[in-house]
Structure 1
Amino acid sequence: MRRTGWIVGAASAVLVAAGGVTFAVAGDDGPGVGAPAASSADAGFARDMAVHHQQAVEMSYVVRDGTDDVEVRRLAYDIAQTQANQRGMLLGWLDLWGLPKVSADPPMTWMGMGSAPSKGDGSLMPGMATTAEMRRLGGLRGRQAEVYYLRLMTEHHRGGVHMAEGCAERCTVGAERRLARGMVESQESEIRLMADMLRERS
């Protein structure tokens, strides 16, 4: 209970911080004024992480329907709410900057990657589950669903941390860099938590 309580508190803190970040960016002079370029790391991170987060939200709601375990359901809900909030911020920044939400460039081009997905079959970026993996998660129940979700989300978070570290190094908008650093810290903490939860379910 202490662990899940901590996650609820951490998620709340992230949401409060997110609101402050949104206000900071919204206080700029307006669309197109001092905005990053469409090919910039700032825009690339916002676009790619929005897609990355969307899958985490979907995955989390799938497992909430697949298990009655309170600890896993609470973690999944916290991840879904936090990442949905952050996704809205990222898309909102693109609107504020007057930039498109999609790009003809392959994902991760802003990080110098832009190669074909590593796993194929629907995996767009590092850490993202494939179409087959998402389908399998949806068909599992109980302890099997919990373990599979925790494994998939651990990999998802690792990919997200890699992307967020890239933004922390390359992005030029201060608020976005701060959000990226916050993502690294929170997702690394959740990776450690999920490792403990997996050991409990081994």
Structure 2
Amino acid sequence: MTDTTATAPDDTDLDDVPARKPALSRWLVAGAAALVAVVLALSLLAITDNDDGDNKSAAVPTAGSADAGFARDMAVHHQQAVEMAYIVRDRTKNTEVRGLAYDIAQTQANQRGMLLGWLSLWDLPVTSADGYMTWMPMGGMGHQVKDGSLMPGMATNTELGRLGKLSGKQAEVLYLQLMYAHHMGGIDMARACAQQCTVPQEKTLAQGMVDAQQSEMKVMADLLRERGSAPR
């Protein structure tokens, strides 16, 4: 299987685009930063507490666990969200849409780093020979991996190519629709981890993803409505 987890952009400044003015945007950015700090602190504490022989080996998830599967798959899922943010940055000058893209890119790049970091700490591979979503109940509910859409909610290569050719309002609408669907798929995955994962820090991160992305979906629906459109 091709490793698709190593091609995300190295930074997420989006040309230092200003964040959106509404308080919700500022809350999401602050909340994401706080979540990152909490999870990192808890991770370091867990490593220290378990660094004593047998207890450490018992605490490390297996390659086929929900903990490892979620970390691998969500890292890939997040990578595309960051990619879409970079695309729309270059296709519109609208500060609200660019601000939303900035928020999502910053949050998901940070979370992706944590997920890959955990896999490294657990000495587990970042890809699985069994494919995507096998750790989830029903394995993604029949999602067909094709044209770049590796998991539910992910955009296809065709859709990404179209986004890269549109501009202005048309690019904004397509980006918001693609990201809305992307969040729907991501929330399903995060909910599954919150229920199935055994590492407390990862369960906390997953539930934080659910809460933050649900709030962002409300923002996206409002922005689409302002443009005479709706999620699809």
Normalising by structure 2, we get a TM-score of 0.82
1:10 aligns with 2:35: no
In the alignment, structure 1 segments of 5+ residues that lack a partner are none
Matching of residues 25-64 of structure 1 within 5 Å: 25-27=43-45, 28=47, 29-30=50-51, 32=57, 34-64=59-89
Structure 2 residues not aligned, in runs of 5+: 1-18
Q: What's the CA shift for 1:14?
A: 1.1
More helix by share: 1
Q: 105-114 or 84-93, which moves further after superposition?
A: 105-114
- What whole-Å deviation, never above 9, does each CA across 1:95-149 have from its counterpart, x for those lacking one? 1111111111110000031676437322100000001001111111000000000
Corresponding residue number in structure 2 for 1:92: 117
- 1:24 pairs, out of 16, 20, 42, with 42
TM-aligned CA deviation for residue 3 of structure 1: 6.1
Distance change >3 Å, CA 2–CA 140, structure 1 → 2: closer
Instruction: Write out aligned runs for 1:123-142 (5 A).
Output: 123-142=149-168
Structure 1 residue ranges, 4+ long, deviating more than 4 angstroms after superposition: 30-33
In structure 2, which of residues 125, 133, 158 is the aligned counterpart of residue 108 of structure 1?
A: 133
Partner Cα separation in structure 2 for residue 97 and residue 125 of structure 1: 24
Quote the residue 1:193 is aligned against: 219
- How much has 1:2 moved relative to structure 2? 7.7
Q: Distance in 1 between matches of 2:181 and 2:145?
A: 12
For the pair 1:76 / 2:101, whether they are aligned, the reply is yes
| TM-score, normalised relative to structure 1 | 0.94
Q: 2:70, 2:193 within 8 Å by CA — same for their partners in 1? A: yes
CA distance in 2, matches of 1:139, 1:152: 15
SS at match of 1:66: coil
The separation in 2 between residues aligned to 1:115 and 1:188, in whole angstroms, is 21
Q: Letter of the 1:57 partner, please give it.
A: V
Secondary structure at the residue paired with 2:59? coil
Deviations 1:76-112 (A, max 9, x none): 0010000000000000111111111111111000003
Tell whether the 8 Å contact from 1:32 to 1:98 is kept in structure 2 after alignment. no
- Contact 1:119 1:130 (8 Å CA) reproduced: no
Q: What residue is the counterpart of 1:151 in the other structure?
A: 177
Find the aligned partners of 2:87 and 2:186 in 1 and give their Cα distance.
19
Distance of 1:143 and 1:98 partners within structure 2: 45
Quote the RMSD (CA, aligned, Å).
1.8
